[in-house]
Amino acid sequence: MKKQERQQLLKRLLTSREIERQEDFVRLLSEDGIHVTQATISRDIKEMQLVKLPAESGGYCYSLPVQKKIDTQKKLQRTLQNAYISFAVQDQFTILKVLPGNGPVIASLLDQMRYEFVFGTVGDDSSVLTICVSHQGALQLEKTIDRMLAD
């Protein structure tokens, strides 16, 4: 079994039960026909950055690390305000010109926003090409970016 698959199983186990010791992981995986050593589990725990938290039973159990929630919209807005040069619409395509080094970041943030009117983005060093689902979608993206720049 590949490490990635094993770690996915560990995540599933963590969401379904309280696991207090590394040996519990080994036993539960063994019950499913997956044989691993405690040392392997130890490396997985370190790589996955698992933490021990107080359990309902009074002891401690493993848990996934707290994920920081990044406010994608605020990050996109801040990046646009700092890097924006120009924006143009052509049919369902838009081109956003930005300061060098900001294109890939903005393209990624636009993708993370999952706008229903955006089909996809391509970002190079200083521009972002956005393919929208329609001309109306491109105009909607233009309005969205204008609002971010105005705030």
Report d(CA 122, CA 8) in Å as an integer.
30
Q: How confident is the model at residue 59 (pLDDT cuts 50, 70, 90)?
A: confident
pLDDT of residue 139 exceeding 90, the answer is yes
In the chain, DSSP assigns E strands to 51-54, 60-63, 84-90, 93-98, 118-123, 127-132
CB 50 within 8 A of CB 62: yes
In a 3-state reduction of DSSP, which class is residue 106? helix
CA dihedral of 135, 121, 105, 125, whole degrees rounded to 10: -100
Report d(CA 49, CA 93) in Å as an integer.
42
Instruction: Tell me which residue has tokens 């971010």.
Output: 148
pLDDT tens digits for range 46-58? 988 899 888 877 8
- Both tokens of residue 125? 């060093």
What is the percent of the chain with per-residue pLDDT over 90, rounded to a whole number? 75
The phi and psi torsions of 115 (rounded to 5 degrees) equal -65, 135
